Structure 1
Amino acid sequence: MSSVSSLDSESGQHSDEEVPETLTDENVNTSEHSPVNGFILLQKARLPGALVNVVGVVVSYTPNRKSSGTDYTCSLTLVDPSIPNNVKGISVNIFRSRKEHLPDLSVGSIFIGKHLRINTFHETTQLVATKEESTFKVICDVANQNQQFPFNMRQHAKEIMAYANYLRRWCASLSNPKVGNYTSITSSRQRRRIEELSPHIFFDLIAEVVMVYPTENAVDLYVTDFTENKRLGNREYRTNTPYGLPNESILQITLWDEHAEDGEDLQIGTFVLLQNLHAKINTNGDLVAALHGDRELRRKKINVLDKNDVEIAKLIRRRNAYYEEHQNSLEYHERDSSPELESDTTEQSITRIKCNNNIKLTDIDDIKDCPEPVGLFRTRGRVISVIPSNFEDFSRPYCHRCNKIMNFAEYENCTQCFKKLKVFKYDFGLLFEDELGAGTLPVLITNEDANTFLDGLPPVNLYKNPMFLQKLKDRMHKLLGNVLKSQASCGPLIDFCVMSYEVEDECNKFIRIYKMFDTILED
């Protein structure tokens, strides 16, 4: 007899017609058998290497990510009534060839898995859903009876739905002493709020994601729990913070190693439980945190929580209270951070722009007539056109190996060496005209000169970071006026510094480039 049939035989032997419409504690014996024919209880998954079929409630999960090989993977933790109170559940690791083939999970959803392989890792039992032999189904809405099951589950659909309803009622029953243990992921470290943090401690934190910023070797995650700590700095958040939050409410967490992979795909507004964070003081004297990897154990330390999870109820109450308390100022803040574009004017002045005034002022036409191979100039003009026209494309992925900025922001791998891309760089162009409207100059703004120009706005994936996108729009509006709305429009007159130099193109011809430098567009 195969391992599958051997373990399947432990479950109750009854036909689909014998399954009651409603399962209750009186007609379900969850200490011995699964109510679903051919399935086992989670606590019965003990024999390493065996294939099993299980049904359970999802109490935590990790974001979908790339595995160390060629597949995509995610992990989840399941419970059912057979799991003892002092056990957090059983982990399931799912592998698929394509990211979109991974399940769409939420805390409290019902997971059904067929032909999961039992694996023991550091004396802990895990289940593995391989792409070759395993199938699964996730039920988020138990009330929907029109569920589409994989072919090899259809004969047990009625049993599965009846058991799913039972599990949902069991999990929602707060009077059940087991539920409290399952819905709160236990930890030996102390769970703290941001207001309680101090340097040199390890802690767990429940928070809302407000920004994700990938760097070359790590990911900087910015979170809040709507409490304040005066030790926090986060100078990037001087204005336009989510909910109008002060800097002291936003904690910067640097994710290293495998946690960078888990955190890279987190969405703004996601609620997470972060475990084993290390609080420390950075070189600026600000309190920050770090989460370092564990390559051997691969313990899950970033858990996405459902917005209805009991773990975040207090956080949501604090958020609602904060919003009510600051509603008037927040409404003003939102109006101020999304200003209406003003009518066309060539007299509009801009006072908060800095450039090197030690360089002699030169007309645009004289700059273009200069024969020198390299020249440094200060000139005066107004913007009449922008490339690209979408602000989201101002910042795009960059490959260090090839020293190349990609053409499109959605590229995940380098088009030359195929290396996975994590770092973004600014790369955009502005077309200036002179005071008289007689001469024009195309100016490139890229790399470190762009970082100087947009001081305080680091290059990130602007498609995934709406807060930074809005801050970029607010900053650039001062320079562009109504340029993006009307081809006849122009921005205000400004002084800026530009470098003129020659490069060789693909046809071995020299072309002249004009690049902005030593110029700051202040907030």
Structure 2
Amino acid sequence: MVLPDGFVPLRNVLSSGDQSSFLGAIEKIQAPVQPEPGGDYVIHFTIRDKFPGDEKDSVPCIIKGWKAEWLPKGDPGDVAILRGMKVEILGTNNTKTLVNDSGIQSQALFFPAKSIPAPEIGHDYHSGGTSKLIYKSMINSRPPSSVEQMAVINMKAAAAPLLEQLKDPKVMFQARLGSTNSTTPKRGGKRQSLISNMTYNMFYDLVGEVVKTFWGVYTVDLYVTDYTTNTDLFLYEEKSDTEYVGAHQKPWPGPFGQMTIQIRCYEPHAGYARELKEGDFVFLQNIHTKLSQSNKLEGAIHQDPRYPMKVGIRKCTHPAQLGGLKERKAEYEKKHAGTLLSREVPTNVPKEPSAVVLSTKKQNKKEKKQKEKQKEQEEVKRKAEEIGKAVKDLNPNVCAGHEDVGLSTVDEIVNNPHLKTITETGDELTLPFVNSRYRTRLRVVDHWPLQLKNFTRSTSIPTTSQASALTSSTGNSQSLKDASQSGNFAWHFFLLVEDANAPEGSTPTRFPLTIDTARAQCLLKMDPCDLSARPKTLYELEHKLSVLWGNLHERKAALKKEGINLPLPVGDNKLALSNKPFECCVEEYGVPVDPEGKPYTEDVIKAMVNAMDDPSTDEGAHALKVLGNPKTWKRTWSPYNTTIKSGLEDW
């Protein structure tokens, strides 16, 4: 049968791209299972597009989702449309398998066989017709086109031999059991491993050295070694400089051989991976090993659905963690000392005059680069010393984590160069935000609301814009009551901050920190409540915040009475501000906002996400319009892993 444009026959699956579409009848299918508590739900099934055909016309598939209700439901004999699927080689038999890929928004639609008409009576499903086929889809799947509907009808007709076999109860029973050779990645046991012991389709933890980094738009590739050999890895051969061609191609820094694994890091891990540099020793968690397109072993670190903000990358500094790794590195360097030396110092003095000149120029160029590098390092050290002197009086009562991460200035945070990127077609693209994390030194120069008692707000009654969005997403006002079940009160306030080293008399770059309940509980170690009704808690809040911002609150209230609004230039005498700069970890992310620019609440967002289960409805289309449009997302910063101590003895 003729497939719609963009669809690939199953026997050509290995030559298809990662965004190809497929059509077939379901031979076997399992009910959704959750391989591990809190993990993704998974459906295993097999589709075929030729009957009877041979084994090349049948391909196993895996669809994963955070919730079981996000996955399509189907039976043997149903017809499946799969869009944007990724081809992976899984299992001990190296089976080609279609797997949904969240990065390219895969889609799946299952059409019940019993509701698909015969081709001779399916004219109303043609272009211009009014009839629509019944289907069950995974989240965010668009409805079928009229051409796809007719292809589904013709596929069912072609699958008549399969449907005839499935009339036998025993055959149907076996088909509903699906494949017994699960290709779900295995977890369990002691996962920390050497690269030499890694194999396909498993989860591992690894201690290694970063050899190279490569930044993508949403991901970061880390090339990591632990100086053990695995023959399934890419082979990096020892070559002289003259064997590398291309104006921008750099020689491989080593180690040579099959000792380095490429690991693709997705958010939130990618944000931390961007802070790594060559030579860093790292501990990587939950590396999912798989086969690359060039049939080599590679890995990926995905977001953990149970702990979405957990970062599986840490720098290693303790000798107990690095003992074995450094020993293997020293052994490798000793073994390859001759090669390493030959790459640094020319051992043969050329006899030809022209060659002598060439060698001298090359050596001079190398020495110039070394001097420039040394000068850059001295400049970095000098700036670090200047910053250290300028902020030597840091607030000791504010503690921030990730002390091994370098400091960023406010200008570097606000003007993040990664907001501008280049698409695959070569066009420049400005992103609304970048999921990233920083460590910086700040000073609070304003806060909102004015009164501390308003730092919490009731969640019982959503605002007008939130209520209308929630109603339009769910279709009934009952969900307004459901949206308030997370608690009666929530933290909600803002801190305007500037760089701790901002020069006096200037109006420096500033940005607001958004403090919601989760961030406030970490920062203040206090639960939200009705502050107006609890003066003791309000008093405790006032004292804690005075640790952070000194006399800012009192000066803000006094200046307000004089008709003066904050913020003011740095060092303005009218402000008479007395507070200390502090170290803070800051995370950047995006939040969807309504047409007035107000962020939707978490409950409203959840309601819209649920409505996206069926994008063919008005509610689903509205949810896609809001959550799928980059213009509706607002760039936001919040503190994380930063806490105010309770005592005031050091103030």
Per the TM superposition, whether the score is higher than 0.5 is no
- So what's the TM-score if we normalise by structure 2? 0.24
Of Structure 1 and Structure 2, the greater helix share is in: 2
Instruction: Report which of the two structures shows the higher radius of gyration computed on alpha carbons.
Output: 2
